[in-house]
Amino acid sequence: VSAGTGRPDRSFGGRDIPRDVEDELASHLEMHEDELRARGLAPDAARRAALARFGDVARVREACRIIDERIARRRTRASMLTMVRQDVTFAIRTFRRSPGFSLVAVLALALGIGANTAIFSVVHAVVLRPLPYGSPDRLVFVWTTSSRAPREPLTPGRLLDVRTRNRSFSGAAGISHVPLNLTGDGAPERLPGSSVSSDFFEVLGVEAAVGRTFDRGEAGRAVVLSHGLWTRRFGADPAIVGRTITINGLPHEVRGVTPRDFVWPSITARPGGTFAGPELWVAARIKEIPSPPIDLDEDLSTRRQSQYLRLVARLKDGVTIEQARSDMEALAARLAEIHPDTDANQGLTVITAQEQLVGHVTLPLMVLAGAVIFVLAIACANVASLLLGRATARRRELAVRLALGAGRRRIVRQLLTESIVLSLAAAAAGTGLAWWAIGALTALAPMDVLRADQARLDTTVLAFTAALAVATGVIFGLAPAIQAARAAVGDGLNEAGRASDGPRGSRTRAGLVVAQVAAALVLLVGAGLLLESFVALQRTSTGIDTRNLLAFDVFLSGSRAEYQRLQTEFYDRMLERLAALPGVVHAGAAVTLPIGGDDFGASYIIDGKPAPESGQEPRAGLQIVSPRYFRTMGMRILRGRDIRPSDTREAPQVALVNESFARIGWPGEDPIGRRFAIGGAPNRVWLTVVGVVSDIRHFGPAEPPRPEFYRPYYQSSFPFMAVVVRTADDPLALVPSVRAAVLELDPALPISNVSTMEAHLYRSKAEPRFLSILLGGFALVALTLAAIGIYGMMAFAVTQRTREIGIRVALGARREDILGMVLRSGLSLAAAGAAAGLICAALLTRVLRAQLFETSVLEPTPVAAVTLLLLGVAAIAAAVPAWRASRVDVVRALRWD
Amino acid sequence: MKPPKTTIDLMQGTLSALVLKALSCGPLHGYAVARWIEQVSGEGLLVEEGSLYPTLHRLEERGWIRSEWQRSATNRRVKTYSLTAEGERQLRAELAQWGRFSSAVSRVLRSRRTRPA
């Protein structure tokens, strides 16, 4: 397209377009004037005639200028493209000539860029992307606060108070988590579900993908299905809307289906619970109060005791979260005055949806992001150091190019282009690496990391990778390029042939090696600490013998669910049958499964002790268990007796307490026969302690045992239980016979959540495992890169000093001396790096504090271990060139130029 | 003094074709192109000469002609234009099209009105 190729063409140098246009038009007018004058016109008349013939000069001038500027822009762009293409072609040719160097550099950078891409894809999917709700930044959660816990669920009374008396929210919906039995159309299923105020979806700003969501003030039994459940169970049939399905034995009308990208976890006061999110939502029917797990179907609006409700709210336009907070504080103070015996000493707090839903994973993800940035920095230092070495070797080439008239800037640009080509090649390889890594990451990620499974190489992530690659290329390429260009200018051509590295170059390279070692050590220390912590976690006993233990849930429905006596009768028969199965040692049941399940709690007062102020009562974990539950779990009854069938509703109400409860309730005394009470004033229940049972860690090994008490299911029961079966052999082998035994008793009874306790325990450690495996992996990559760095530096130094080494040998130095000399200089670099690394680690590992279990942020054993590991690897990396140096052939060395 | 002339507003495309034709015999500056058009058209086609320049620049932008600054015989800085290879192809195409068009038009204009039998 371009005109005038090869010919001097000054018109479009971009110099002065307006002047050129002016000149061109002026010359036309002048020539015309001349001609008219030659024909005898007077100068004035000639001028007028020429102008008249020409037309509107100003308009023509403007039109020409616009066209010319467009041409100039296009030509500049074209010539830049040509230049870049030349540079890139040249760079590729250069790399083809030294495949070893190129491979190492691309590999190192690919590891760095790949790791960053993979982690960024997760950070992006989980934290950076807006949550899939309408204006998610206006969404908040409201919790009760007390001296016992920073976040507690709300009571029905408080939920209604917040709904009606707040001044900050355009909507506030209650949520409760309820397991729901789905029957009809296929096998009965027990699913995680949620009962919500009818404006729940309106508050979230979410519209149904199919059908609609709930009507305001919904009075009928209505259900909204998750996209997943709709697809899995109903074959994504849109005709499901308006149909009636059976939930907990009652007909519910299907209102609609949530959008495919709608995610909603179970909302826990302790973030990071491992429950799956609800698969279906039922509308609250009475005064917008979501049902508790056992649907009592009665008006709960005056209940101010049972805390089971979560609350999600949307800030009114213009209201800040601080304003909402002070609004809620004022409301809590007001409620404490109105209801002194139930709401005293209780606050209300507001947190953002972002904090509630992803707050607990933000720090670990940032730790990983920091780690991969370290890896990339090491890779950059590594390649920069390689480039510095190459620049020395290429000095002759660069000097020639300078002598041939290439400017210093041109040379820097050429070298930078090489760096960027290198890092783009690495980005391509790294993206492949990341594609593989993201699969592994999402499989390994703990379940409670919302949307981690949505991490993928989308356009945002790829744009990030591309930007990272260019930035990387500039970072590791700029210093070597400038230094090379400067050196090439400094040297004469004649001198340039000597491949000697200036003192500045070798100092820079040594600095880069020290930095690599330091950064690698920081990562190693972090990984070492996490590993130590994870080992400590593995060693910690939960107080449960998890081997050969099968667990599953049952959920009764129909008349059996309605009467506690029938519930217990059924459980007794079921446990009897299970215990009689061949291969089963014991069978027991509890209302919540430790480690893998929910938890119930209650506040209590000790008989004979001054009652604490309202709202300040201590809390303990509440369990409702069958006889032989403790034996099945491998827990020990330390004093007193197990529960027995004679502990009926008519008999005295009894309980077993665990060691922690006994220690707090009756320090130094025998708790047997003592009493404590649970529940508020009107329905307070006194329980007599009949036994003490060993402590367990209900929330998994990472959390210390809490005070707990156990009530017999003959005295208080629920229509659902977690059943545990101790087996003689592999517990999973017994699943079919266990399932058959239960179905024989009741063909409509779903057993769900079938798993071994070992599996529950494994899942409870998902997050520390994830973090330590990942950080460990990154640390190993960093260590490898640092080792390559040391090796490269020493190998280069040995080549440089071949002549000197030869002289030393000729003068009588022994080979061991040479070996020692090179080894020492390599190790001294590593030692300097290690020292710097330890200082950085001391400053940085405190970010890990929340992730460490029974491990201090500078635990000596792992820190010492990884430091030794690093120095050992450094010694090996230096030993190879050192050995080569000691083998130097004196004659050849002395001829070395 | 002069025969009465009518200034015809030439369509852009026609002017382009004329310019290409003007340059087909060799490089010319803008003024010469204007004169050439005036002469060969027997002064029948009179353009407002200024409109020639945006056309020249646009043709250059399309790559059909190229320009060069030169010193004229009277030592004036003048910009001369010449046809590129692509421009020659374009000219041939336009001539062919014009030929088809004008013969079609003349056939229509010369035809006698015949009544349908």
Type of residue at B75:
N
Task: Return the DSSP state at A852.
Answer: -
pLDDT (tens digit, 9 = 90+) per residue, A320-357? 999 999 999 999 999 989 988 888 888 999 999 998 88
**pLDDT for A3:** 37
Residue pLDDT, tens place only, A167-184: 999 999 999 988 888 887
Check residue A819 and give its pLDDT.
87
A2/B49 Cβ within 8 A: no
Selected residue with higher pLDDT from A14 and A619? A619
Sort strands A549-555 and A169-183 into parallel, antiparallel or unpaired: unpaired
The least confident of A67-71, A451-455, B35-39, B45-49 is: B45-49
| Chain segment A269-290, per-residue pLDDT in tens | 776 554 578 999 999 888 888 9
Under 8 Å between Cβ of A798 and A880 = no
Distance from B85 to chain A by nearest Cα, in Å? 10
Contact between A25 and B53 using a beta-carbon 8 Å cutoff: yes
- CA–CA dist A639, A828 (Å, integer): 63
Minimal CA separation from A77 to chain B, in Å: 14
Q: How many beta carbons lie within 10 A of that of residue A449, not counting itself? A: 24
C-alpha closest to that of A162 among A375, A313, A353: A313
Contact A71 B51 (CB under 8 A): no
Question: How much is the pLDDT for A14?
Answer: 45
The Cβ of residue A170 has, within 10 Å, a number of other Cβ atoms equal to: 15
| Chain A contact set for B79 (CB, 8 A) | 11, 20, 23-24, 27
Nearest CA in chain A to B46: A53
Structure tokens at B19: 């310019």
Cβ atoms of residues A678 and A624 within 8 Å: no
pTM of the predicted structure, to 2 decimals = 0.77
Residues 6+ apart with CB under 8 A from B76: A27, A30, A31
Helix and strand element counts for chain A (H, E): 26, 21
Cβ-Cβ contacts under 8 Å, B51 against chain A: 55, 60
The Cα of B49 is separated from the nearest Cα of chain A by a number of Å equal to 5
Task: Please answer yes or no on whether A30 and B53 come within 8 Å at the CB atom.
Answer: no
Helical packing angle, A408-444 and A57-97, nearest 10°: 70
Residues of B with CB under 8 A from a CB of A: 29-31, 34, 48-51, 53-54, 57-58, 60-61, 63, 65-69, 72, 76-79, 84
- In this complex, is the C-beta atom of A30 within 8 Å of any C-beta atom belonging to chain B? yes
pLDDT category, A217, cuts 50, 70, 90? confident
Structure confidence at residue A408 (pLDDT): 79
Give tens-digit pLDDT for A299-319. 777 788 788 899 999 999 999
Checking if the pLDDT of A501 tops 60, the result is: no
Cα dihedral: B42, B45, B51, B54 (round 10):
-80
How distant is the Cα of A41 from the closest Cα of chain B, in angstroms?
13
**CA of A83, closest CA in chain B: separation in Å?**
21
Find chain A residues with C-beta within 8 A of B84's C-beta: 3
Residue of B nearest to A69 (CA): B61
C-alpha triplet A539, A664, A681: angle, nearest 5°: 125
pLDDT at A152 over 90: no
Q: What is residue A751's three-state secondary structure?
A: strand
Check pLDDT > 80 for residue B116. Answer: no
First to last CA, chain A: 52
Q: Which of B30, B48, B57 sits opposite A67 (nearest CB)?
A: B57
Provide φ and ψ at B67, rounded to 5°: -125, 160
Evaluate if residue A489 carries a pLDDT over 90. no
Distance CA B25, CA A333 (A): 98
Selected residues 61-100 of chain A with any CB under 8 Å from a CB in chain B: 63-64, 67-68, 70-71
- Over residues A683-702, the pLDDT tens digits come to 788 999 999 999 999 988 88
A56: chain B residues, CB-CB within 8 Å: 50
Q: Which of A62, A67, A74 should we substitute to test contact with B (largest number of B Cβ atoms within 10 Å)?
A: A67
SS3 sequence of A824-856: HHHHHHHHHHHHHHHHHHHHHHHHHHHHCCCCC
Residues in chain A within 8 Å Cβ distance of B60: 3, 67, 71
A11 confidence band (pLDDT: 50, 70, 90): very low
Question: Sheet holding B65-71: strands in order across?
Answer: B28-29, B77-83, B65-71
Q: Which residues of chain A are within 8 Å of residue B70 when distances are taken between CB atoms? A: none
Query: What contacts B59, CB < 8 A, 6 or more positions away?
Result: B16, B19, B20, B65, B81, B87
Higher pLDDT, A64 or A12: A64
Q: Flag whether pLDDT at B41 surpasses 90.
A: no
Q: Does A813 touch chain B (CB under 8 A)?
A: no
Residues 6+ positions from A335 with CB-CB distance below 8 Å: A158, A161, A343, A346
Rounded to an integer, the average pLDDT of A415-431 is 91
The rounded percent of chain A whose pLDDT value lies above 70 is 94
DSSP-assigned letters across all residues of A312-346:
EEEEPTT--HHHHHHHHHHHHHHHHHH-HHHHTT-
Tokens encoding A402? 């300078």
Spatial separation of the C-alpha atoms in residues A72 and A74, rounded to whole Å? 5
A378-402 pLDDT, tens digit per residue, is 999 988 888 887 777 777 777 887 7
Chain B CA closest to residue A2: B63
